[in-house]
Amino acid sequence: MYPRARYRVPLAHGRALDLGARTLVMGILNVTPDSFADGGRHFDFDRAVAAGLRMVADGADIIDVGGESTRPGAEPLPEDEELRRVLPVVERLAAGTDAPISIDTYKANVARAAVARGAVIINDVSGLQYDPSLGGAAAESGAGLILMHTRGRSRGMYELAIYRDVPGEVKTELSSAIDRATRAGVARDRIVIDPGFGFAKRAEHSYEVLANLHALATLDRPILSGPSRKSFLKTVLGEREPDQREWGTAAAVTASVLLGAHIVRVHGVKQMVDVVRVADRLRDARAWDAPSHQ
């Protein structure tokens, strides 16, 4: 186990996240017809809203709403269609629960519109590489900003999965993403980092990054870990559908908590809340002298 610094992350609309005392659970709400993990079961307004509210009832601390699949090989989604999918869901959830709503997008206009309707966090899988104006939009909105590590676009990311030092290169490239954000005007204390399991990483790379997750602590930003149902788990579990990878996800989530993650992003909220509670109890059983960052 490794120490975990505490942070207070300002969000849009005057809200904030206190991170570090316990691990927060972010529920994944894919409003897409082609999600790799849930088969598009929430690609309907009423079902999406009901699923988001159920996640909160099951213990989710944050709901992450996404309208575009970014799985390897996915085609880009037109902006107007993404807006059509996510905005009504974001607005209804923001009005129907106190849980912070995150918008999973790399498009500045989608981010702006979602924050205007109640989202308080922007979750960018590109680390500000796909839309140069997203950093400015995040700065203007006052939203929290999650920066994920990746290389290239969905269709060609595996061609760029060439590393000599996976943890070191991921850390260096996340540091560059932080620099991009701050140059765009995003306050450093609003930034959370995500190593991006499975994105421009083959299975062995994802395991190596997870095993060295604690190394990202030197970037002095909260860490989000998102191993849920990812394909790298198949190298151990064997071929099975994503929703049959929950036991493997549980192991990866436990490792994430013990190695210093502040937030875990998951599909099976109810099950993973239990996993996180036990992992956090293990952390609490050991005395830490971890720094606090406001």
Per-residue model confidence as pLDDT tens digits over 22-69: 999 999 999 987 544 444 555 688 999 999 999 999 999 999 999 998
Catalytic member of 92, 112, 230, 283 = 230
pLDDT confidence of residue 36: 46
CA end-to-end distance (rounded Å), the chain: 23
Rounded to 5 degrees, what angle do the CA atoms 90, 224, 117 make? 15
pLDDT confidence of residue 286: 81
Q: Is the pLDDT of residue 92 over 70?
A: yes
Which domains are assigned to the chain? 12-284 (3.20.20.20)
Residue 107 falls in the annotated catalytic set: no
Catalytic member of 112, 201, 265, 283 = 265
Residue 230 falls in the annotated catalytic set: yes
φ/ψ (deg, to 5) at 203: -55, -45
pLDDT tens across 111-168, in order?
A: 999 999 999 999 999 999 999 999 999 999 999 999 999 999 877 788 999 999 999 9
**Rounded to two decimals, what is the model's pTM?**
0.93
Instruction: Give me the sheet containing 292-293, strands edge to edge.
Output: 16-19, 6-10, 292-293
Structure tokens at 48: 């999406």
| CA distance readout (Å), 82 to 9, 130, 177, 210, 276 | 27, 15, 24, 31, 32
